[in-house]
Amino acid sequence: EMLYYILQPSAGPAGKVQDDVDEVLPELPQAIHNYRASLSSEQNQAVDIATRLAVHVERGEHRQKGDEDDPSQVRDRMRKKVRTIARMARMFKTLRQENETVIRLKGVCPGHKLAPGLLLAGKDKLKSELEMFGHVAGIDAVNEKRPELNGRGPDGEGEATGPKGFMSDDGDDSGGDGSSRNPTKE
């Protein structure tokens, strides 16, 4: 249905519809009249506008005569519509065929959103993007580890000896080599 409506000629450059205030609308059956009486004035106005538009379209007055005079514009507009539909078809084909890759890629992308144009690029671009994220994750794995303290193993066993800033056993602020941080001049 969407394809049908996209390919239909448009109602004109601005899509103008003339309001005929004097236009007589068809008489409503009693059940619908009772229903309309329960609506607010804004809702009744919206229903009136929709009814006028429906009558206008049924009569075929929605098409302007100027559009059919210039076939080059009509062809150009149709070409653009076909290109857009082809682009959408490529996107949905990629999405359908590479669903698993897309889901994995969404998991590693920031905000769980794919980069614009990635689905249009095709499955090769999806796979290379996923490989790039895997490569970067492998490189960054070193940064993700817990830092090891000098003299301590990764399991936390051993003595805290080593880098400056750690308190030694005797309570002074030495850096482990016996020297004091704030030597005083004598």
Q: Is the pLDDT of residue 30 over 50?
A: yes
Q: Is the pLDDT of residue 16 over 50?
A: no
Q: Which residue has the higher pLDDT, 140 or 160?
A: 140
d(CA 106, CA 114): 6
Q: Which pLDDT score, from 0 to 100, does residue 76 have?
A: 92
d(CA 84, CA 86): 5
Burial (CB < 10 A; 0-12, 13-18, 19+), residue 126, is buried
Q: Is the pLDDT of residue 91 over 80?
A: yes
Indicate the pLDDT class of residue 186, thresholds 50, 70 and 90: very low
Indicate the pLDDT class of residue 83, thresholds 50, 70 and 90: very high
159-181, pLDDT tens digit by residue? 555 455 455 455 554 444 555 55
Q: Is the pLDDT of residue 128 over 60?
A: yes
Q: Report yes or no: 160 and 143 within 8 Å, Cβ to Cβ.
A: no
User: What average pLDDT does the structure give for the chain?
Assistant: 71
